[in-house]
Amino acid sequence: MTVAVIRLMRALLLSFFVVAGALAYWQVIQAPQLVVRADNPRLVQAERQIQRGRLLDRSGMVLAYSAPEHGPGNVPVFHRHYPETATAHLVGYYSLRYGTGGCEAVFDSILRGKRNRLEELLHRPQRGEDVMLSADLTAMRIADTELGDHIGTFIALDIASGALLAMVSHPSYEPNRLDETWEDLIADPSAPLLNRATQGIYPVGDLARWIGLAGLLSAGITTPSRPSEVSLAVLLAPLSRMGYVATAHQLGFTQTPPIALPASSGRLPSFDGRTTERDLAVTPLHMARFAAAVAGDGQMPVPVLQHSTELAGMERVFSENVAHTLRALTPAYDGIASWIGVALPVETGRASLTWLVGYAPATHPQVAFALVLEDEENRSAAMSIARRTMAALLP
Q: Which residues bind another protein (CB under 8 A)?
A: 1-6, 8-9, 12-13, 15-16, 18-20, 22-24, 26-28, 30-31, 34-35, 37, 39-42, 45, 72-75, 121, 123
Query: Shortest Cβ distance from residue 9 to another protein (Å)?
Result: 4
Q: Which has the closest alpha carbon to 47: 58, 60, 38?
A: 38
In whole angstroms, give the CA distance from residue 4 to residue 6: 5
Query: Shortest Cβ distance from residue 118 to another protein (Å)?
Result: 13
Closer residue to another protein, CB minimum distance, 41 or 189:
41
Looking at this protein, which amino acid is placed at residue 184? D
Q: What angle do CA 150, 281, 331 make, to 5 degrees?
A: 70
Query: Shortest Cβ distance from residue 116 to another protein (Å)?
Result: 17
Closer residue to another protein, CB minimum distance, 40 or 240:
40
Closer residue to another protein, CB minimum distance, 73 or 395:
73
Q: Residue 149 gets which letter from DSSP?
A: T
Query: Shortest Cβ distance from residue 267 to another protein (Å)?
Result: 43
Closer residue to another protein, CB minimum distance, 69 or 320:
69
Closer residue to another protein, CB minimum distance, 9 or 311:
9
In whole angstroms, give the CA distance from residue 110 to residue 100: 13
Closer residue to another protein, CB minimum distance, 42 or 226:
42
Closer residue to another protein, CB minimum distance, 13 or 328:
13
CA distances from 253 to 58, 256, 304, 325 (A): 28, 8, 18, 21
What's the 3-state SS for 154-189? Answer: EEEEECCCCEEEEEEEECCCCHHHHHHHHHHHHHCC
Query: Shortest Cβ distance from residue 51 to another protein (Å)?
Result: 17
Closer residue to another protein, CB minimum distance, 48 or 379:
48
Query: Shortest Cβ distance from residue 129 to another protein (Å)?
Result: 25
Chain-centre distance for alpha carbon 223: 36
Query: Shortest Cβ distance from residue 187 to another protein (Å)?
Result: 25
Query: Shortest Cβ distance from residue 128 to another protein (Å)?
Result: 21
In whole angstroms, give the CA distance from residue 135 to residue 129: 18
Q: Residue 277 gets which letter from DSSP?
A: G
Q: Which strand ranges, in their side-by-side order, compose the sheet holding 55-56?
A: 77-81, 62-69, 55-56, 131-132
